[in-house]
Chain A
Amino acid sequence: MSESWDKFHATLAGTNTGMRAVGPLVAADHAAQLSNVSVSQVVQSAKMLIEVLGMAHERYRGDFLIVFSDVAIEAEAMGCRLEFPLNAPPHVIKSVDPENLLSVIPHLDGRMPMMIEASSGLVEKYGKQIPVFASLKDPFSAAALACGAEDFFTLLVLNPQKAKYAVDIALENQQRYLEALIETGAQIVIGAPLATGSLLGSKHFREFAFEPICDLIEQAKDEGVIAGVHSCGNANPIVEDLVAIPADFLSLEEFDVDRWKQLAVQQRLPALMGFFPTGLLLTGQPDEIEFEVQREIGVMHGHAHIMATACDVPQTATPDQVQRFISAARVH
């Protein structure tokens, strides 16, 4: 095992080795920018995705790598039509009614085969040195992205049965997709861009999103891989729900650290990945980046913590800024 793997295992086991895993969350758009190629090329080619994410890793030398293209992978496979702008991630231009969501075959549908191939290629290339995480959406977010977020959110109040039906379809699809990603040798991170505290609150999260996420995490853990959850936005309204998910780690964009510490007194928590504000990668002065890294490491002292950006690195962040974040985290 490599040093990066050792750091990860020690953090997840709650063993204080004095070594902290560090890494930026680099998605296809920033990686494309780094390599001077268009985002649309990268998000439509396994070869390009492997190449640019690999180059980003070799530049930043984080202790992990996430295979992430864009949030529309599942929506496309479930029947949505996408547009691929030249230099931005693709987006849905025609969504699907919940009753018409397609049952997905991961090795055939949409760009899932591309993601499976990219995951396989990156695991082969870097999997011995660092954990390579394949990413997939939680079923609620996958269904909402496919059906159109606003319409889907109103269904939660006006027609919850229809919303649940869509989430069930998405869960079945994601279980098959997860299986295919695990077969590549990747570890797993489930991204929840729409099943968030700030958008849903605890009641809806519990009713529509919680169980499907737990199902996927348990499936991944049964296969013996590391499994984490990334929650976008403000996690405070659902933090008690998030810590009840049997994940190895939680990657949180925004949360109350004091509350986290209170919860840690009451129960064993998953490791925490995060929570360096990504805006600082655009506007922060070197001393601000250093200060923030030091502050976060200070407040998380004694807790299982993986030092990472709170969310994806901004597309136009300069490599020097990202490097400053990594260097500061390594020093401290």
Chain B
Amino acid sequence: MPDDLNLSEDELLVKLAQSVLALDVEGTGQLAQIVLDRDYSVRRAILEGLSEGMRQVGKRFCSHEYFVPEVLVAARAMYRGLNLLKPRMLIESGGSTHVGRGLVVLGVVQGDLHDIGKNIVKLMLEAEGFEVLDLGKNVRTDIILQELGKEAYSIVGLSTLMTSTLGSMKEAVYQIKAFHPKIRVMVGGAPVTDSFAKEIGADGTASDATGAVALALKLAKV
């Protein structure tokens, strides 16, 4: 049990962030429970505690102090807390947990099943306040187009780890731009270069998850 009995709300939020950053899954859950027990603001706990912790994880990922294993465990910690806090947040906010940055569709392009990178981008986007529809991996373009017709999405994020599926990415960007010219498309993954992104008509690319969030924030403002 964390040593938190005398912590103020602000101190508890700092502890929550630190707990995510320290990859402490159990500790994060315990701290989230204290937020509930003391009737502190759940919204603040999510944004200033859990999300802030994940943002700091993102910075360490960007500076190569953390790599994918650490990010995945930090995500487990964040979700341990989030799953406890979310039900009350939904009650407080009347059904939504996002803070209005915009709606994003994410997916790994058809033919590729490597989704670690996409999952990390999803975590970081959610931590930043975007609402994300995750279509998973090996996603056909017609499925993306179908989803884009249902809600007011502002950004589509496509990823691929394999060079062999760069062709699928090119085709997906082409189709999205043809049917939904106002929607911004960002692309990423190991073989995706700036020039490739430009050539296929994407609105931008980033080399890591932190860059992807910065790009999404930029695209959401346009």
Contact = CB atoms under 8 A, between A and B. Distances in A.
A156 interface: yes
Contacts of B111: 85, 87-89, 315
B190 A150 contact: no
B19 interface: no
Given A199-B68, A237-B67, A279-B196, A316 B167 contact: yes
B72 interface: yes
B97 to A, nearest CB: 23
B165 to A, nearest CB: 7
B76 interface: yes
Nearest to B73: A157
B163 A278 contact: yes
Contact of B193 (A88, A154, A279): A279
B69 A27 contact: no
Interface centre among A27, A156, A198, A314 (most CB of B within 10 A): A314
B182 to A, nearest CB: 24
Contact of B162 (A156, A309, A312, A316): A312
Interface in A289-319: 309-317
Interface string B191-209: 1110110011000000100
A253 B168 CA distance: 20
Contact of B163 (A154, A156, A284, A312): A312
A198 B190 contact: yes
Contact of B191 (A89, A158, A278): A278
Interface residues of A, number: 44
B221 interface: no
A150 B119 contact: yes
A63 interface: no
B127 to A, nearest CB: 18
Main secondary structure of the interface of A (DSSP, over half): mixed
Contacts of B168: 316
A311 B199 contact: no
B91 to A, nearest CB: 31
B161 A232 contact: yes
Contacts of A149: 114, 116
B113 A91 contact: yes
Interface string A208-249: 000000000000000000000000111001000000000000
A313 B110 CA distance: 16
A150 B116 CA distance: 7
Interface of A: 27, 29-30, 85, 87-89, 91-92, 149-150, 153-154, 156-158, 198-201, 203-204, 232-234, 237, 253-254, 277-280, 282-284, 309-317
Interface of B: 23, 25, 64, 66-70, 72-73, 76, 110-111, 113-114, 116, 119, 138, 161-168, 170, 190-193, 195-196, 199-200, 207
